[in-house]
Structure 1
Amino acid sequence: MGQVGSLVGLSNVPDGAFNQLGNILKRLPHWDGPTCGIGFGTMLVLLILEKIGKKWGKKHFSIRYMASSRAIIVMVIFTLISYLLNKDRDDYLWALSQVSTHGIQHPKAPDATLLSKVVARSIAPLVACTLEHQAVGKAFARRNHYAIDQTQEFNYLGVTNIINSFFGVMPVGGAISRTAVNSECNVKSPLNGAITAGFIILTLYVFSPALYWLPKATLAAIIIMAVIHLFGPLSLIWRYWRISLADFIACMVAFWVTIFVSAEIGIGAAAGWSVAWTLLRSAFVTPSIHASSPSNGSSDSSSTFQPLARVPTVSTLNQQISENEGGPALPEDTVVVQFGDSLFFPNANRNKPRYSVEAERSWSVAAERRLARLRNERGVVMRQMPLAVVIWDFGMVPFIDSTGITALAELKDDIRRQLGFGVQIRIIGITKSVRHRFERAGWKLADADGLQDGGADVVYPSLERAIWDERDRDSLKGVSTEKA
């Protein structure tokens, strides 16, 4: 939208895509005829060359090369036309670029006074520049089927702007317009940067008189035709809606904020929404709890069980249990708790009450009326033996913080208070980083195949071993059981 004013011969167009669109349409009677002819003529030639390249470019190298270089071709053609028609006129037919340079100034250290004034105010442009740079890079990487190295991109930004500061140059970043021109010219190698820099140096010292006659409308048309191919189909928005409401909202936030405010604010708003959504989603994660039940009862999972995969998951457990009803039963004294996400401040204490209810329905000795109501609400069939093993599956827990460890310690204490210290806590699927956090918190852990430390919770390599290991299962003999 920023180029449309130059395309139709309007000046003093405001900032912001929405404001620009309204201003340009409002001033429709003031559009300049010759400028529109040059601008739309450039777009037409670019479109024709593109279609020719798509149709015959694969068979003829010269046609493919001509189509790839169409931006340079139209620039030369319309600059020549502009020169021939305007060289003898005092009042030009259309606005010209009027490039006038005197080379590159000699490098010098930035002014300390200026530096002190812009340090604090440079943070916001830095964030906006990096966000826009990454967004533009990813858009073109997706379009042209390659991957970008984000560290390399940030290094480029830093080195470029540090060097530019010694020449009095404005801060720069990845610009969608110039990147789009490179993409449309089928640039395939970073060597293009050296060639571009060479032409810029030649322009500054040699070609600037010729570029003086380049119409602004031609330059605007080249940029518009390069950028327009980045727009996806409208069906993509509907696809976001069907796949994920969160992605649809992020898309709408980025689009409308960009239209009404600016691109950097739009990108930042969408990124902020993504962070907020991730925190909300993590805050309401609840674990999956699997326990046995009689064949005619109901529970979170069926009572049948067969040996599971080395790396157990909820789907693995449900599938193997549900598809093998004739197999051996999951021990009635065992409960498997599988955590579905990281255990940290937003969700740690939210999950704990669920465990407490589960504990109440499994082994509480509260009043019969309260027990009956809880069992009826949860569809629970009473166990015939006390709980002996609680298995915590950390296979989907990449991170845990001090709040999560504290919540698990409270849960462990609740379990032990209900049934005594004979109840075993067995752990599977724990990653090295999570285990290190447990150990730094003073939580004793021991490997199933290693030396056992008294009071340590045992870490097993698989769900199968954790369920069927008979070690110390007789520790609850003599504990009274509640019967239905």
Structure 2
Amino acid sequence: MTVCDEIKTQAKEICSVKTAKKTLPITQWLPKYCCQWFQCDLIAGLTVGLTVIPQGLAYAVVAELPPQYGLYSSFMGCFIYCLFGTSKDITLGPTAIMSLMTAQFASGLSPVPHNATYALILTLMCGCIQLLMGILNLGIIVEFISYPVINGFTSAAAIIIAFGQVKHILGLQNIPRDFLQSVYYTFAKLPQTRIADLIMGIVCLILLAGLKKMKSIDWGDENEEDIPVCRKISRKFIWVIGTARNAVIVISGALIAAACISQGFDTFSVVGPLPEGLPTFQLPNFTLHNGSTTVSTAQIFSDIGIGFGVVPLLSLVETIAIGKAFARQNNYRIDANQELIAIGISNILGSFVSAYPVTGSFSRTAVNSQSGVKTPAGGIFTGCLILLALAVLTPAFYYIPQSALAAVIISAVLQMVDFKIIMKLWKVKKLDLIPLGITFLLSFALGIEYGILIGILVTLFIVLYPLARPTVKVTLRPETSRDIVILQPNQGLMFPGTEYIMEQIEGYSYEGPPKMVVIDCSHISAIDYTTIQGIEGVIGELKRKKCSVVFSCVQIQVLDVLLKADIPGFRSANTTEEAADFSTLPDEEKCINGIGHDEIDEDEENPIQPLLGNTRQNSIA
């Protein structure tokens, strides 16, 4: 096939209907859209909107940005995900963890407090990285992060976020962002507690817990047809109030604060004035003016540093974990690479409307699913409600108490803490407690970015260690002598375990070397170049000690690689018994019953070629 033919083939594939449906999942469900789906998506979208508005305002505080940036970050993903997303349930927007990451890597590093320049640059670059990862099909990266690491990270992040809101419950000022310092200064400043904020915060927490409990009331297994209409309506009303509990609490708190302020009582710490209307659609600024000095683009990128890697990765992990959970629950599949594309485009365009990095929200996705959403179009109604709130309700946000927002955050994140897994892991696999504990503890001591990175490295070490120290079963023939030693590795011969395996082989030749070492390869399905070099050295060393080496039960793809390597003295037998028989044969017969690579004439036909077929083209070199 010529280059032109290859280009034409690729072009046809890219422009095919199959590719279009994969790139734009909306083309798969839009032709089947109906009025019933519209009704379900409308109800679910508006319900999620009532949840995301108070959460957005609250999470912006966690991100150390003015509250309106939480709403700016809430609507773009709703529209973009409808086009590119593969899950009907996922809702994109600000989350507790992404807000904490934004504070850690962006807004918290800005020399100008509460300035969004760093956050918007992080959003844009995060989106570009995610889009590139999706195009390159790198969604598989999420498979290398184990559940214990994710659990340790989310539990630590939830505790850090929750304790970070205690200062707002108490009405304290000038508390450092660092967790350990914040603990110290919070207790040190307890005498400065504002009683009104404390009462408001505690009452809001109690009401949020009560409303959440009301939402999950089990009404029994009564027949739906036998329930009176008034009872059905009352149950639905209780469910709606419980689902929209964040909005109910925030609105109630704002009304109380507004009433107090109108009477001249400045008792609550409130959000204060916010810019009215929608954000301007523009490219983020890549420089920051701080008085008479200007922070350059290079300096901003240097300050964010590792955040450009950690934030896109955690965003992917959070979204895929949520998407897979609800996909299993509702019997459909999601595409990790397509999800990366959807999140990437959402963040890229979101940076143009002053959004900080977004990802899938577990709490809002659960609300979306329980509300009966049928397609990603539910996000359109959520986005429209947020835009309406920005256009009309911004002046009312002035009166929202900081303690009420803090209560919303604490109530949302504490359910992310899961200590039950410790007992499960203790029963199932105690070794998994190590990465969980390391991730959890180091997130407090060094920061959550280092906690999860070190946790991932520890997990990879645990996974790769068996490759470096594989189990080798040893059999002697006859059992009373060391004439023939049969070694059977329990897995593939790859470079981490090459030296160990070779030491095992050579170890039986130090004192009273056997006549033959047989390597049973029945469990070996892969081999690499480093191992081939080790095999070549071992064969040469044992040959000098008058000890021969024979490989048995070699799988076709492995045998193909070994023959290509042209190892002097390499011999192979179909079974271990045939390999053991080599020791009783004259040297001139050994190359007939087995394959002695150094005895085969290059011009002769390879005796195993009919078995190999086309595996030479696909072998591991």
Please report the TM-score for the alignment, with normalisation by the length of structure 1.
0.69
Q: Among 505, 514, 521, which residue is 1:393 paired with?
A: 521
- 1:4-26 per-position Cα deviation (integer Å, ceiling 9, x unaligned): 22222222221133322332222
Percent of residue pairs identical: 20
Larger deviation: 273-282 or 20-29?
273-282
- 1:267 aligned partner: 452
Q: Tell me the CA shift for residue 396 of structure 1.
A: 4.8
- Deviation, 1:352, is 1.1
What is the SS of the residue equivalent to 1:428? coil
Displacement, 1:48? 1.2
How do 1:2-401 residues align onto structure 2 when only pairs under 5 Å count? 2-56=164-218, 62=236, 63-89=238-264, 91-96=266-271, 98-108=273-283, 111=286, 115-137=297-319, 140=322, 149-167=335-353, 169=354, 171-174=356-359, 179-183=361-365, 185=367, 187=369, 190-191=376-377, 193-233=379-419, 235-240=420-425, 243-244=428-429, 246-294=431-479, 336-359=486-509, 363-364=513-514, 387=516, 390-393=518-521, 395-396=523-524, 398=526, 400-401=527-528
Q: Which amino acid aligns with 1:428?
A: V
C-alpha change, 1:134 and 1:250, in structure 2 (3 Å) is farther
Specify whether residues 390 and 97 from structure 1 end up closer, same or farther in structure 2 by C-alpha distance, changes over 3 A only.
farther
Decide which structure has the larger Cα Rg and report it. Answer: 1
CA–CA distance in 2 between the matches of 1:439 and 1:210? 77
Farther off after superposition, 137-146 or 16-25: 137-146
Q: Which residue of 2 aligns with 1:320?
A: none
Pick aligned residue for 1:475 from 585, 592, 617: 585
1:105 Cα offset (Å): 0.9
Give CA deviations for 1:252-288 in whole Å, capped at 9, x if unaligned: 2211221133222211121232234445453333422
For residues 130 and 339 of structure 1, do their structure 2 counterparts lie closer, same or farther at Cα, with a shift above 3 Å needed? farther
Aligned-residue offset at 1:232 = 1.2
Structure 2 CA distance for partners of 1:469 and 1:290, relative to 1, 3 Å = closer
Match of 2:61 in 1: none
Q: Counterparts of 1:398-413 in structure 2 under 5 Å?
A: 398=526, 400-413=527-540
Q: How has the CA–CA distance of structure 1 residues 262 and 97 changed in structure 2, closer, same or farther, with 3 Å as cutoff?
A: farther
Instruction: List per-residue Cα deviations over 1:427-483 (Å, max 9, x = no partner).
Output: 4346x4x56654553459xxxxxxxxxx875475xxxx554689978634899xxxx
Letter in structure 2 aligned against 1:340: N
Q: Is the 8 A contact 1:184 1:226 kept in 2?
A: no
Closer/same/farther in 2, CA of residues 183 and 79 from structure 1, 3 Å limit: farther
Q: Look up the SS of the partner of 1:221 in the other structure.
A: helix
Alpha-carbon distance between aligned partners in 1 of 2:547 and 2:431, rounded to the nearest angstrom: 45
The runs of 5 or more residues in structure 1 that have no matched partner are 300-331, 365-385, 445-454, 480-484
**Post-superposition offset of 1:159:** 2.1
164 and 271 in structure 1: CA distance in 2 versus 1, 3 angstrom threshold = same
Distance 2:304 2:541 in 1: 53
Instruction: Name whichever of 66-75 and 202-211 sits farther off.
Output: 66-75
Counterparts of 1:85 and 1:438, CA distance in 2: 83
Q: In the aligned structure 2, how far is the partner of 1:456 from the partner of 1:354?
A: 18
Shift of 1:238: 4.9
**Deviates most, 3-12 or 411-420:** 411-420
1:119 positional shift: 4.3
Q: 1:21 to 1:122 in 2, by over 3 A?
A: closer
Q: 2-side partners of 1:220 and 1:158: how far apart?
A: 29
Deviation at 1:194, TM superposition (A): 3.1
Letter in 2 for 1:37: I
3-state secondary structure, aligned to 2:585: helix
1:132 offset after TM fit, Å? Answer: 2.9
Distance change in 2, residues 1:125/1:22 (3 Å) = same
Task: Structure 2 unaligned segments of length 5 or more: list them.
Answer: 1-162, 222-231, 288-294, 590-621
| Pairwise CA RMSD | 3.9
Counterparts of 1:47 and 1:21, CA distance in 2:
25
Please give the per-residue CA displacement for 1:301-353, whole angstroms capped at 9, x wherever unaligned: xxxxxxxxxxxxxxxxxxxxxxxxxxxxxxx9865433234434432122212
Deviates most, 184-193 or 348-357? 184-193
C-alpha separation between the residues in 1 aligned to 2:563 and 2:196? 76
AA aligned to 1:101 is: E
The one-letter amino acid paired with 2:436 is C
Q: State the distance in 1 between where 2:305 and 2:314 align.
A: 14
Shift of 1:355: 0.6
CA distance in 2 between counterparts of 1:142 and 1:32 reads 44
Post-superposition shift, 1:402? 2.1
Deviations 1:353-412 (A, max 9, x none): 211122456744xxxxxxxxxxxxxxxxxxxxx54x8243252554x3322111122233
d(CA) in 1 for partners of 2:582 and 2:407? 79
Question: Residue 552 of structure 2 aligns with which residue?
Answer: 426
Distance 1:57 1:224 in 2: 28
Change (3 A) 1:194 1:16: farther
Separation of aligned partners in 2, 1:192 and 1:29: 47
Q: Call closer, same or farther: CA 1:406–1:90 in 2, change over 3 Å.
A: same
Checking the alignment, whether the CA contact within 8 Å between 1:68 and 1:186 is kept in structure 2 is no
The aligned amino acid for 1:250 is P
Moved more, 45-54 or 337-346: 337-346
Instruction: Report the residue type matching 1:401 in the other structure.
Output: D
> Residue 17 of structure 2 corresponds to which residue in structure 1?
none
Q: Is the 8 A contact 2:521 2:551 kept in 1?
A: no
Q: Compared with structure 1, are the counterparts of its residues 290 and 404 closer, same or farther at alpha carbon in structure 2 (3 Å cutoff)?
A: same
Provide the C-alpha distance between the structure 1 equivalents of 2:284 and 2:182, rounded to a whole number of angstroms. Answer: 38
| Larger fraction in helix | 2
The Cα offsets for residues 99-127 of structure 1, whole Å up to 9 and x where unpaired, read as 43332213247558954444455541112
Q: Indicate if the aligned counterparts of 1:336 and 1:393 stay in contact, CA closer than 8 A.
A: no
SS at match of 2:164: coil
**Distance in 1 separating the partners of 2:398 and 2:210:** 26
**Structure 1 residue 52: deviation in Å?**
1.9
Change (3 A) 1:468 1:22: same
AA of the residue aligned to 1:219 = L
Contact 1:96 1:214 in 2 (8 A): yes
Q: Secondary structure at the match of 2:475?
A: strand
Any idea what SS the aligned residue of 1:55 has? Answer: coil
C-alpha separation in 1, matches of 2:413 and 2:322: 10
> Could you report, residue by residue, the CA deviation over 1:43-97 in whole angstroms, capped at 9, with x for unpaired residues?
1112112222222467755033332222222233323333333345373533335
TM-score (norm 2): 0.55
Structure 2 counterpart SS, 1:104: coil
In 2, Cα distance between the equivalents of 1:254 and 1:439?
45
Residue aligned with 1:288, SS? strand
**What do residues 213-264 of structure 1 show as CA deviations (whole Å, max 9, x unaligned)?**
222212211121111111113x533554565554322222211221133222
